[in-house]
């Protein structure tokens, strides 16, 4: 079966690090929690304003160079804003204007347009924050054995990791997951080239790209998480939503190397009762490296034995 058109990748599975109590709730209720970024432990996560960063005079001069090339017929004019319309009218009704004269007429307008764009930045940020405040995110990792992830999100190795598979027939929500980009600096709203093209009306701001730069960018310090996330939610008035998943999407359970016997037994009973197709693994510390190893428990049916 071909993958749904809305899917963004070809990965087969993702992993959810949880405490033992959260793992029990997920398995018992067949629901995953999609949360507002305001609840996240990183105060920068989806909580920053993409900024402008360019040399103002260079952008204006680059814009003038581009306008001249279009006016003189070296490049095509793409109708994007009133300036592009005016430039086309000039080409038809006033051809042959010397460059110095064209610059004298157009440079003040370019500076004005840049001023107007910069003055609207607070409004753009406010609108973006309003939209982002209403979204919910479901976060996964592409790995199940990272010792820092186990320490931070799985109760210091006393919790669990749940494996969710992407199933075409169910159009699994995580088929639309996107990877996080990790970088040292916050993303810019526009770079110098984009600012130039926007100024002369040759491109529009791509709202989806701006949205993605806020939702899918985190500080480089978090790169070990290898995170993927999905945007969703139905009710913008609540900070989180518990949304059902299909039981066959849960295909694996990894138990921490420090899990309490009573938590282990409860989790195994839940898998045995409601997810007999799922594989179960128990973790232990490696004898030779600073890493985790997982052995499959084979008395829970054939399941999907691949980690």
**Stretch 297-302: mean pLDDT:** 64
**Stretch 278-296: mean pLDDT:** 97
The DSSP bridge partners found for residue 137 are: 35, 231
Neighbours of 104 (CB within 10 A): 11
Report residue 289's pLDDT band, with 50, 70 and 90 as the boundaries.
Answer: very high
Domain boundaries, the chain: 13-35+137-180+220-297, 51-125+187-212
- Judged against a pLDDT cut of 90, whether residue 236 lies above it is answered with no
- Judged against a pLDDT cut of 70, whether residue 1 lies above it is answered with no
Residue 195, classified by CB atoms within 10 Å of its CB into exposed (0-12), middle (13-18) or buried (19+), is: buried
What is the rounded average pLDDT for all residues in the chain? 89
Residue 289, classified by CB atoms within 10 Å of its CB into exposed (0-12), middle (13-18) or buried (19+), is: exposed
Phi-psi region at 84: left, alpha or beta (left = phi > 0; alpha = psi -120 to 50): alpha
**Stretch 228-238: mean pLDDT:** 91
d(C-alpha 68, C-alpha 101), whole Å: 11
Q: Given CA atoms 291, 297, 300, 305 in this order, what sign does their dihedral have?
A: positive
**Tens-digit pLDDT profile for residues 102-161:** 899 889 988 988 888 888 888 878 887 888 888 999 999 999 999 999 999 999 999 999
**Tens-digit pLDDT profile for residues 156-203:** 999 999 999 999 999 999 999 999 999 999 988 888 888 888 888 766
Six token digits for residue 238: 């609540």
d(C-alpha 272, C-alpha 268), whole Å: 6
**Tens-digit pLDDT profile for residues 41-97:** 999 999 888 888 888 999 999 999 988 988 888 888 776 667 777 778 888 888 889
pTM (2 d.p.): 0.83
d(C-alpha 64, C-alpha 168), whole Å: 51
d(C-alpha 101, C-alpha 174), whole Å: 57
């Amino acid at each position: 079966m071909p993958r749904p058109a809305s899917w963004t990748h070809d990965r087969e599975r993702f992993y959810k690090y949880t405490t033992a109590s959260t793992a029990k709730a997920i398995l018992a209720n067949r629901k995953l929690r999609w949360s507002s970024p305001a609840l996240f432990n990183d105060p920068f996560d989806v909580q920053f304003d993409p900024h402008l960063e360019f040399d103002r005079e260079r952008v204006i001069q680059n814009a003038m160079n581009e306008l001249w090339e279009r006016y003189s017929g070296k490049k095509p004019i793409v109708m994007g804003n009133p300036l592009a319309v005016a430039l086309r009218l000039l080409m038809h009704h006033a051809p042959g204007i010397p460059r110095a004269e064209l610059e004298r007429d157009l440079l003040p307008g370019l500076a004005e347009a840049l001023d107007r764009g910069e003055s609207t930045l607070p409004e753009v940020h406010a609108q973006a924050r309003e939209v982002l405040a209403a979204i919910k995110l479901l976060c996964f990792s592409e790995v199940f054995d990272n010792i820092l992830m186990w320490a931070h999100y799985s109760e210091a190795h006393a919790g669990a990791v749940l494996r969710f598979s992407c199933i075409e027939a169910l159009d699994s929500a995580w088929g639309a997951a996107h990877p996080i980009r990790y970088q040292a600096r916050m993303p810019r709203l526009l770079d110098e080239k984009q600012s130039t093209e926007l100024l002369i009306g040759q491109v529009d701001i791509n709202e989806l790209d701006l949205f993605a730069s806020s939702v899918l960018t985190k500080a480089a310090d978090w790169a070990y998480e290898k995170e993927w996330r999905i945007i969703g939610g139905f009710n913008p008035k609540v900070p989180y939503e518990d949304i059902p998943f299909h039981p066959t999407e849960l295909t694996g359970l990894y138990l921490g190397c420090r899990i309490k016997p009573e938590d282990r037994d409860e989790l195994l009973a839940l898998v045995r009762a409601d997810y007999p197709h799922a594989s179960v693994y128990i973790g232990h510390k490696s004898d030779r490296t600073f890493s985790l190893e997982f052995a499959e428990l084979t008395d829970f049916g054939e399941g999907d034995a691949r980690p």
